[in-house]
Chain A
Amino acid sequence: DAKTTQPNSMESNEEEPVHLPCNHSTISGTDYIHWYRQLPSQGPEYVIHGLTSNVNNRMASLAIAEDRKSSTLILHRATLRDAAVYYCILRDYNNDMRFGAGTRLTVKP
């Protein structure tokens, strides 16, 4: 499986944007980039996914580098409820979702 590298932890202030980076230098052409998050004491939650173009949804935006070797999950305005572990996962059509250690996001009031 292609690997991703994320910082162990990040901090942000409430109501400010947050940029969560992910490096995936060995990404293949068929790998989609998925982001999930896990709030305390809950199951993982789908956030967003993309292949080549930047993506926006009601939760977040995903910015994908032109060479696809890195991506950034953008929370436009962090709230206390966004404190969670965020997982960047590569997935092609032949494998199931596998989670790494993720980035623990702390949001300060």
Chain B
Amino acid sequence: EPEVTQTPSHQVTQMGQEVILRCVPISNHLYFYWYRQILGQKVEFLVSFYNNEISEKSEIFDDQFSVERPDGSNFTLKIRSTKLEDSAMYFCASSEGARSQAGYTFGSGTRLTVV
């Protein structure tokens, strides 16, 4: 079964440093997403991306966050200057179709620890 692949599985970074989280969505999917989950809390929507631009973003997705699809396969989330409160699991997801009701396929996540 096709999978969404995320790397690394765990990243430790110092406060103030930039991090890039990487995702390889399912190849025929057109919509891409980032979510985060702080330990013990609910899964929170960050951003959706379609046709090389942001479709929707939440209030969490401020100027320190950016997303990019640098080539035909990768989808990245960059956090420019990490804060302690950015420590969380970050999940990438993809879905087929434009605003279809097809299910999202999620990756296994990257655990980001900011120290």
Bound: A36/B42 CA distance, A: 13
Summarize A's interface: helix, strand, loop or mixed: loop
Which residues of A lie under 8 Å from residue B75 when comparing CB positions?
none
Interface residues on B, range: 20 to 34
Q: Could you mark each residue 80-104 of chain B with 1 if its beta carbon is under 8 Å from any beta carbon of chain A, else 0?
A: 0000000000010100000101011
Could you give, for residues 14-43 of chain A, a 1 whenever the CB lies within 8 Å of some chain B CB and a 0 otherwise? 000000000000000000101010100011
Q: A47 → chain B, closest Cβ, in Å?
A: 8
* Known interface pairs A43-B108, A43-B109, A44-B91; A97-B101 also in contact (CB < 8 Å): no
> Which residue from chain A places its CB closest to the CB of B48 in the assembled complex?
A96
Q: Of B42, B55, B91, which one neighbours A43 at CB under 8 angstroms?
A: B91
Contact: A102 with B42, CB < 8 Å?
A: yes
- The interface on chain A, measured as residues whose beta carbon lies within 8 A of the other chain's beta carbons, has a size of 23
**A91, A93, A95, A96 interface centre (most CB from chain B within 10 Å):** A96
Contact code string A67-109 (vs B, CB < 8 Å = 1, else 0): 0000000000000000000010001011111111110000000
User: Other CB < 8 Å A-B pairs besides A34-B103, A36-B103, A96-B33, 15 of them?
Assistant: A43-B108, A44-B35, A44-B43, A44-B104, A46-B103, A46-B105, A51-B101, A91-B101, A93-B99, A95-B56, A96-B45, A96-B48, A96-B55, A99-B43, A100-B42
Give me the interface of B with A, judged by CB distance under 8 Å.
4, 33, 35, 42-45, 48, 55-56, 91, 93, 99, 101, 103-109
Chain A residues with a Cβ under 8 A of chain B: 32, 34, 36, 38, 42-46, 49, 51, 87, 91, 93-102
